[in-house]
Amino acid sequence: MNRTILITGATSGFGHAIANTFASSGDRLILTGRREDRLQALAKDINNAKEGTAWPLPFDVRDRRTVFDAIASLPAAWRAVDVLVNNAGLALGRDYFEEASLDDWDTMLDTNVKGVMYVTRAVWPLLRKPGGHILNIGSIAGKEVYEKGNGYCASKHALDALSKSMRADFLRHGVRVTAVHPGAAETEFSLVRFKGDATQASAVYAGYEPLVAKDVADIVHYCAGTPAHVCINEIVMTCTAQANSFYLKK
């Protein structure tokens, strides 16, 4: 389709799957993430496949100066962006409020909220107007809170509000904004949340069939491919076994 797509957090999980899905449509991809080795490997795979093309751009969305410097460093041929996918995000810890790590709170808010704000502001001058499209990857944790979800739920509720604010503010520019809110999805998410404890992480997905990264990537790709006069404001998606944050059939 020859669009230019910028994807944050492309080194694993949803971001990795989103990159491959857009590449299969022949799009040009600006891939960002903290782990440069993974980023380079993904870009090499996409470029070698000769369907899409990829430009790796490593940075941490939490670092405001680095974000703006990295986007500013893009060569002329990559300085017109059609679609921005704000995917970088994480959960850390699953603790009662009074026992939660303050460092975990800072990391989640800096990544899930401020990182989206920094990247969007940095990309804004390059985003096609009218016709550009911003997709923010949220969570059902941004729709309802649950026990021991405090910092993560707060960050995703903030992202939900931010997506709605962007939608209103960008109307005058003809830029679409879509929020995609997945439920339980088996990626590195729980392994990161439980800080490498594979037993705890795998237990989250035991007894039912969760979403996988490709499911979310397909929805993102669909939303980005609707006609120019159509904007899907938000999608809340779960696996069949999950109704919401509280009801899960195992």
Domain residues for 25? 4-237
Closest CA relative to residue 188, chosen from 88, 57, 96: 88
In a domain, 8, yes or no: yes
Beta strands (DSSP E) in 34-99 are 53-58, 83-86
CATH code (residue 10): 3.40.50.720
Q: How many other C-beta atoms can be found within 10 angstroms of the C-beta atom of residue 226?
A: 13
Residue 51 has a pLDDT of 85
Total domain count for the chain?
1
Residue 1 has a pLDDT of 60
- Is the N-terminal amide bond of 130 cis, ω within 30° of 0? yes
Give the DSSP letter string of 52-67: SEEEEEE--TT-HHHH
pLDDT in tens, the chain (250 residues): 689 999 999 999 999 999 999 999 999 999 999 999 999 999 999 999 988 899 999 999 999 999 999 999 999 999 999 999 999 999 999 999 999 999 999 999 999 999 999 999 999 999 999 999 999 999 999 999 999 999 999 999 999 999 999 999 999 999 999 999 999 999 999 999 999 999 999 999 999 999 999 999 999 999 999 999 999 999 999 999 999 999 999 9
In a domain, 92, yes or no: yes
In a domain, 242, yes or no: no
Q: Is the pTM of this model over 0.95?
A: yes
Whole-number Å distance between alpha carbons of 168 and 176? 10
- Residues in Cβ contact with 167 at an 8 Å cutoff, skipping those fewer than 6 apart: 176, 177, 231, 233
In a domain, 79, yes or no: yes
In a domain, 244, yes or no: no
Residue 73 has a pLDDT of 98
In a domain, 23, yes or no: yes
User: What token pair was written down for 210?
Assistant: 């969760």
Known catalytic residues?
Answer: 152
